[in-house]
Amino acid sequence: TLFEIMALRIRRIQSLCGGDAKVPFYIMTSPLNHDETVAYFDSNSYFGLGQDNVFFFEQGTLPCLTEGGKLILEEAGKLAVAPDGNGGIYPALQSSGALDNMVTRGVKFLHVFSIDNVSCLMFCRRDLSPLVMLLTCFNAGTRTSCRPSLRRVLYIGRCRLR
């Protein structure tokens, strides 16, 4: 699974660091999949990362609107809501205690990515540009950086696949 691939990458980074190095894995879930995601990691023994190195936090929700801007009801008297998207990471990190956890652990850097982007290799023998970018930004004192990547689109017949 995609989660397993990411966990294996984290374990590889830990082994490259040597000793008892631990790289925590912070996973933002939605209210729709939080319990299922936590149970999945638990049933797979956290893919060897250890339960104390995997931190789950839920993103917030926003009301659903029609194209005309009217509120949508899920049922009578209940507003329909949906996850607040990638930008929800910032308030979710704060409200969940994940930021406090990072400070306690001494985390200094984050590598943020979408779980469905398996091409977001942090370190790859064929492409060292992420590492070069990270070191360049670190040496320059830059607080944030962004490395865009193209998504390849594959057409099979009339179907569009990513």
At 59-115, the pLDDT tens digits run 999 999 999 999 999 999 999 999 998 889 999 999 999 999 999 999 988 877 777
pLDDT reported for residue 61: 94
Element spanning 10, H or E:
helix 2-17
pLDDT reported for residue 26: 95
- Nearest CA to 30 out of 22, 38, 42 is that of 38
Contacting residues for 99 by C-beta, under 8 A, at least 6 apart: 93
- For residue 37, what are its two tokens? 């995601």
Question: For 132-152, what is the mean pLDDT?
Answer: 74
Question: For 2-7, what is the mean pLDDT?
Answer: 89
Identify the band that residue 125 occupies on the pLDDT scale cut at 50, 70 and 90.
low
pLDDT at 156 over 70: no
Neighbour-count burial of 98, counting CB atoms closer than 10 A to its CB (0-12 exposed, 13-18 middle, 19+ buried):
buried
pLDDT reported for residue 139: 85
pLDDT reported for residue 6: 87
Q: Tally Cβ neighbours within 10 Å of residue 85.
A: 11
Spatial contact of 91 and 60, defined as CB atoms under 8 Å apart:
yes
Q: Which of 45-54, 108-117, 121-130, 135-144 has the lowest mean pLDDT?
A: 121-130
Q: Which residue has the higher pLDDT, 113 or 21?
A: 21
- Nearest CA to 98 out of 144, 55, 41, 53 is that of 55
pLDDT at 53 over 80: yes
pLDDT reported for residue 144: 77
Identify the band that residue 152 occupies on the pLDDT scale cut at 50, 70 and 90.
low
